[in-house]
Structure 1
Amino acid sequence: MEFNDLNKLFVYLKDVIKWRLQNPKADFAKTAPKFSLKSLEGSAISEFIITHELSSSEYITLLLALVPHLLPDYFLTIVSEEFPDGSDFPMFGGVKGKNHRGILPTGETVLFILGGSNLKQRVDCFNMFQENHIFHKEQIMYLEGVPAGEPAMSGKLNLFPDCLFELTTGEIPSPKLSTDFPAEKLETELIWNDLVLNDKTLAQIQDLEIWLEYNEIVMKDWGMNSRIKDGYRALFHGPSGTGKTLTATLLGKFTGKPVYRIDLSTVVSKYIGETEKNLSNLFNKAANKDWILFFDEADAIFGKRTNVRDAHDKYANQEVSYLLQRIESHSGLVILASNFKDNIDDAFTRRFQAIVGFGMPGAKERKVLWEKNLPNNLKLDKEIDLREIARKYELSGSNIINIIHFCCLRVLSEKKDRLTTKILMEGIKKEFLKENRMF
C-alpha cells in the first residue's frame, strides 16, 4: 500500500473542504479544486476508484468516510483553521462518536461539500445512498440509521469493514466462523489427481470449472448479463465419503476462489425469523465476493416443504422460500450437498444448473484409491492383493482413508516393518462395524 497516495488524496480533500467553507454558494462541478488520478496510478486506492468507475463526487464521499479511521483530528483541524474563534456550523453536519473524539462525517457533510447551499445539487447527493447505487450494490459504504423523526442524511457515513481493509491494506481478510458469518473456509493440499471419480461425474465437474473460469467474460465482455441470471447453482448428491466436499474444495483451489462451508448448526434456529437473519448475514457478507458457498448436508435446511398444519410448518416453509430467493439472487457459485437427492425440495432442484451424482466407487476406482493413498513408507505383505481387496470390500474414499490411517498407526505401534493381512482386515472390519454393516 502506497501511503503517499493516501496523503495526496487527503490533502486534496482538505482543499475541497476549505474551498466549500469559503464558497458555500459555488457550483462544485465548475469551481471546486480538481485532482488527477493519474498521479496515483498503480496504488491500491486508485485501482479501487478506477475499477469501480467512481466519479469525483463519489470518491470524495469515499474519502470523507475513510479519513476518520486514519486521522481522527482531520475535520476538527480544518474547521478550527477556518474558524479560529470557534463556530457552530450546522451546515457542515457531523456528529460525535461514543469513543471517537473527533468529528464523524454524516450525509449532511456530503450535502454541504458537494452541494453547498444549492438545493438541487444537495438533492442529487441523495442518489448515492439509494439501493441501485454502486455504494450499496458493491457494499462500499452506507448511511447509518437515525432515530425516528431525525433527518435521514444526519446518519453517520460508514464504510463496510471489507472496504475499509481493502482501501487501507489492499487486502480483504478472510472472515472467521461466527454467528454473523456461519461458515468456515475449506482448504486442501490435495490436487485433482488425488480425487477418484467416475468419468461421468468428472465431466460434470469440468462444466463447473468452465463456468468459474469464463462466466465473467460471457456476462460482462459479451453483454449477456441482461439475458442470463447471475450465479450458478449445483447439487452434489451421493453417500458420505464419496468426494463431494473435496470436489468443492478443489474447485476453489484451482480457480483461485475461496470456498466456505456453511455450518448449518449455527444457521438454523428454533426462534422465528432467526434462521432468515443468520442466512441474510451470510449472503450479505458473500455478496460481490468471488467465493464458492458450500452447503453440506443441505437437506437439513433445504428440504421439502410440508403441508401447513400449524404455525411451525408455516414458518419452516417461509424459511425454505427465503433461501430459494437468496440463492437465486446470489451472483456466485452455490453448491448444495446431500446424501440423498430426493430429500431436496423440488422447487430447488428445478433451479439447479447442474445436478452431479457422486456414487460409491466401483472396484476399479477403489483399487486406485488404495494405491493413491497408501504411503510409500508402508510396505505390504506379499499376500495382500489390492485388486482382490478392492473387488471384495465396498468402501467409500473416506472409508479407505480411515482404514489406511488405522493401519499406519497399528504398524508403528507394533514395531512392525510392513502391513500384514491381519492388521488390514482389522481396519476394514472396524470401518464396517462403524456403519453397522455386515463384515
Structure 2
Amino acid sequence: MLAILKDFLLNLFFILIPIFIVPLWVEERNIPRHIKQHLFTVCLALVIILCITIPVSSDPDFIFDLRQIPLWLGSLYKGPATSLFLCLVTIGCRLLFGGAGFLVTVITSIFIMITSMTLSKKFLQLSSKHRILLATALCAFSGSLSLELAQMFQGISSSSSIMSLTYLFVQPIFMLIVCSLKEMIYKNMELRKRIIRAEKMEVVSHLAASISHEIRNPLTAARGFMQLLEQHHLSPEKRKQYIQIAIEELDRAEAIITDYLTFAKPAPESVEKLNVKTEIERVIDLLRPFANMNSVEVKTTLAPFTITGEREKFRQCLLNIMKNSIEAMPNGGVLQIYVSIEKQRMLIRISDTGVGMTKEQIDRLGEPYFTAKGIKGTGLGMMVVYRIIESMNGTIHIKSEIHKGTEVSIYLPLSSSNSHDLTNEEKKFLQHYKTST
C-alpha cells in the first residue's frame, strides 16, 4: 500500500510542476501572454506523457495513473483547442503501450474533451470555490467511467481491486488539492498585479499633487506681479522690482522642476573627474552659516581622491545629505565627514549626533515623497541622492539609532583603476592610511 501511495505521489509531483513553477517563472520574465498559454499547455502534455510512462501500476491491459488530472485542468481552464491537443497527446502516448485499455483511454479522452468544450466558458465564470468542486466531481466521474469501461471490455483482476478502489479515492482528492493550489496561486498573482498597479497609480497621483503644489506657488506669485506691471502709474523702480521678483519666482519653479528631472533622468550629462576633497570643502563652505546657526560643529578627515561624475549633481547629493544631518541636530551637535578607501572603492562617510531614525524610516528612505521631517520636508531630497549615487555606479548605506545619530556611507568607484594611475597626493594618503590602520 505504501508503494502504491508513493507512486501516486510521484504522479502528483509531475502535475504540480507546471502548477507552481511555470506561472512564477513566466511572471518573473514578463513573457508575452500567448507564449504563456502555449507553454502551460506543452507542460501539461509532458506531464501526461510522464504519468503514462511512469504509472502507479499496470496490468497487461490497463494502466493506473493520474493522467486525467492534467487533461481536465488544461481542458477546463484553457479551452477547446488545448483540450483537443491534450486528448491527442494522451491517445497517441497510450497507443504506444497497446492493450485493450487503449480503447478505454480513447473513450474517456473524448468524453473529457466534449464535456470541457461544453462547460469551459461557464466554468471560468464560476467562483473559485465552485470551480474547484466542479473539477473534482468531473475527475471523480471520469475515473469511475474508466474503471467501468475497463471492467466491461476486459475485466479487472482481483489483484487490481485494491488498486481500483485506491484509484477511485485518490484521484479526486489529488484533483481537489491541485485545483485548490492553482486557484490560490492565481489569486496571489492577481493580487500582486493589483498591488503593483495601485502603487504605480499612487506614485503618479503623488507626483501630480506634489508638482502642482510646489510649482503653483511661484507661478501664482510671478503671475500676480506681472499683472501689477499693467498699472500705468508705477514708477520705473517699482516696475523693475516687480519684474525682478517675477523672475526670481520663475527661477524657483525651474529649480523645483530640475529636482524632479534629477529623479526621472539620473544619468550624468557632463562627466568629468572630480576631486572629492575640493567638492566636499565647497559644500561645507556653503553650509557653514547654516551649521553655525544651528550650533553644529563640522569636523573633516578628507582625502584628495578623484572620481568620475557630474560636478553639480555630486554637489547637490552632498548638500542634501549634509543639510539633512544639520537639520537633525536642532540643539547643536557634531557633523563629521570622513573620506577613505575601502575594498578598492572610495568611501565618503557623513555622520551626525542628531535625533536618529527608526529602522522603518531607514527602509523607506529614497522613496518618493517620504520624509522624516514632518511638514518641513518634501520627500525629494534623499530620493535625488539615491538616484545620483546610482547614476555614478555607487551604493549608499545608512545606519541610525534614535537619539544617537545617523551615519551615511557612500561608496563610489575611483577614477584611477589601479595604483599606478594614482596621483602623488593620493599615494601619500594611501600610504598614511595603511600605516595608521
Name the structure, 1 or 2, with higher relative contact order (CA <8 Å, separation 6+). 1
Give yes or no for TM over 0.5: no
If the length of structure 1 is used for normalisation, what is the TM-score? Answer: 0.22
Greater helix content: 2
Rg: which structure is higher? 2
